[in-house]
Amino acid sequence: MKHLIVAGVPRAGKSTLSRRIARETGWQHVSMDAVIAGFERCFPQTGVDTGLSVNRGKPSLEILRIISGKMAPFLRAMTDPEEYDEKNGPMVIDMYQLLPEDYAASGLASTCRVLYLLTGDVDPEERCAIQKKFDTPEDYTYELSDEERLEGCRDLVAQSRLMREQCERLGLPYYETAHSREAVFAEILRRVVEERMRRGGAEGGKMS
């Protein structure tokens, strides 16, 4: 049995896709945002902190590298067959701070498949315009000023391009979702469901 990690940058559709996969497959949906928030509040000394205290003022790429380097082995331990009861079935885990190189180096491939959702095929201005168009009051970016939104989109594009380069180097699957998001989601969901059916629901199999 292998779990599925839906990784990538914020606002690329990780949670939306993960929830759809969970509904279609009956797998457990786990959002690592909640886990990381727990680390931030209770164990800031670990360095798993998105900028609230320990990492405040550091560039976003540096914070991403710090947290990814710590969370990858945490995920590997969390999904270890000796610790995880396989009777609970596979998990679909959505996660932001997981760089492809840390996924590979931590040995996560032995317990989890991964795919990345990115928005690196647009420039920050275009990414900002798309995000503003679809923001809802439930989104953390909804109340941001145009300047704050653009600054955040510069980070998202830079992080997307870093993840894309690592995915290409390591042969890991990634999908650009700035355009045609629903078509991308439909294709991924089709592959997951087909692999699950072929394997009798035991695991999703490998996607390319």
Domain boundaries of the chain, sorted by first residue: 3-198
| Confidence category of residue 200, pLDDT binned at 50, 70, 90 | low
Mean pLDDT over the full length of the chain: 86
Q: Which residues pair with 75 in a beta bridge?
A: none
pLDDT of residue 98: 96
**What is the Cα–Cα distance from 31 to 36, expressed in whole angstroms?**
9
* Whether residue 51 has pLDDT greater than 80: no
**What is the Cα–Cα distance from 50 to 54, expressed in whole angstroms?**
8
**What is the Cα–Cα distance from 50 to 97, expressed in whole angstroms?**
9
CATH fold of 3-198: Rossmann fold (3.40.50)
C-beta atoms surrounding 8 within 10 Å: 31
Strand order of the sheet with strand 112-118?
28-31, 91-95, 3-8, 112-118, 174-176
Interval 161-193: pLDDT, tens:
999 999 999 999 999 999 899 999 999 999 998
CB 119 within 8 A of CB 33: no
pLDDT of residue 74: 92
